[in-house]
């Protein structure tokens, strides 16, 4: 083929760019990893690139696990993420399905009903008062229920459901399938890729969230991991002093990074499992443009 030289260059350029990009985006991760096993003092003295651990040690991880809250908050986060995900996926699928059906009469109205909430909200205080009046204050449900549906994810999922061929659904309806059947047995298996993305979005959202916990959770034993992580990262920036006591524990700088490592490892492990759904050709049949 005469284009083969062009094609080869084209592909090589893509490989080159991707390799560079991979190296560049790898750096922050490597930085955190190396920093977590480095000697704190050497770490502070160092100012350039961090290309290897400085004075190898694992003391930071020891200290992290000794922290009174980290392991506990890990469990809290896991609980909240798992329960949230179940509710999220169920409700989002239901809503997306209904809003994707042509036969549903008030589709446009409901879309506006939903999109409106993406832009207008009561704000912090009324939300807080609402949660309190529902009796959810200081409970895990305050972290789970208010985020039961994310409108952004709902829209993405609905658009995906909508793009599935009508003929599939029509055929099922002629066979006598009802809406639950169509959703759970026909549509969901066909939308694995986008469902994987949505799951990921929800999961990461819950995993990283700290703001609602900061507002609604008072009992420190119920803090999620990210809130504890923030406290550790921001330690030592207090400007008011009554009695100024020295904090000379040698590992304090690397402890910050060790905490980050243990906070991101689980979420990184999830990706490869979801990745397989992004392989080509999961969808059988044609796609409507």
Least Å from the CB of residue 225 to another protein: 11
- In the chain, alpha helices (H): 4-36, 40-45, 59-66, 70-100, 107-119, 124-133, 141-144, 151-162, 166-174, 179-181, 188-190, 192-208, 211-216, 225-233, 252-275
Is residue 286 helix, strand or coil?
coil
Least Å from the CB of residue 148 to another protein: 5
Instruction: Identify the sign of the CA torsion 83, 85, 91, 93.
Output: negative
Neighbours of 79 (CB within 10 A): 15
CB 53 within 8 A of CB 34: yes
Smaller CB separation from another protein, 37 or 194: 194
For residue 247, give the nearest of 40, 79, 23, 13 by alpha carbon: 40
Q: Rounded CA gap, 180 and 182, in Å?
A: 5
Smaller CB separation from another protein, 26 or 171: 26
| Distance, C-alpha 228 to centroid of its chain | 17
Least Å from the CB of residue 128 to another protein: 5
Q: Rounded CA gap, 250 and 69, in Å?
A: 20
Least Å from the CB of residue 238 to another protein: 6
Least Å from the CB of residue 74 to another protein: 14
CA distances from 213 to 201, 208, 281 (A): 19, 11, 40
CB 50 within 8 A of CB 34: yes
Smaller CB separation from another protein, 167 or 249: 249
Q: Rounded CA gap, 151 and 47, in Å?
A: 43
Smaller CB separation from another protein, 7 or 58: 7
Least Å from the CB of residue 2 to another protein: 10
* 67 secondary structure, DSSP code: S
Locus of tokens 């490597």: 30
Least Å from the CB of residue 37 to another protein: 15
Smaller CB separation from another protein, 53 or 146: 146
Least Å from the CB of residue 181 to another protein: 5
């Amino acid at each position: 083929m005469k284009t083969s030289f062009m094609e080869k260059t084209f592909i090589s350029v893509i490989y080159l760019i991707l390799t560079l990009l991979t190296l560049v985006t790898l750096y922050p991760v490597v930085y955190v990893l190396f920093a977590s096993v480095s000697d704190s003092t050497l770490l502070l003295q160092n100012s350039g690139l961090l290309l290897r651990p400085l004075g190898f040690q694992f003391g930071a991880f020891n200290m992290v696990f000794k922290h009174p809250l980290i392991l506990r908050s890990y469990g809290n986060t896991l609980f909240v993420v798992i329960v949230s995900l179940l509710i999220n996926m169920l409700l989002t699928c239901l809503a997306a399905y209904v809003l994707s059906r042509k036969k549903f009469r008030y589709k446009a109205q409901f879309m506006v009903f939903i999109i409106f909430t993406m832009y207008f909200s009561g704000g912090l205080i009324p939300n807080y008062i609402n949660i309190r009046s529902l009796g959810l204050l200081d409970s895990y449900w305050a972290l789970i229920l208010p985020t039961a549906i994310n409108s952004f994810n709902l829209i993405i999922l609905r658009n995906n459901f909508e793009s599935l061929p009508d003929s599939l659904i029509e055929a099922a309806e002629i066979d006598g399938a009802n809406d639950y059947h169509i959703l759970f047995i026909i549509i969901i298996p066909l939308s694995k890729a986008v469902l994987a993305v949505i799951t990921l979005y929800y999961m990461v959202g819950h995993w990283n969230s700290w703001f609602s916990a900061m507002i609604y959770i008072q009992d420190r034993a119920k803090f999620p991991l990210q809130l504890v992580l923030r406290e550790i990262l921001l330690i030592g920036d207090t400007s008011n002093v009554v009695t100024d006591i020295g904090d000379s524990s040698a590992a304090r700088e690397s402890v910050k990074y060790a905490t980050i490592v243990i906070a991101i490892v689980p979420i990184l492990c999830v990706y490869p499992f979801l990745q397989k759904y992004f392989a080509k050709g999961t969808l059988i049949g044609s796609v409507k443009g």
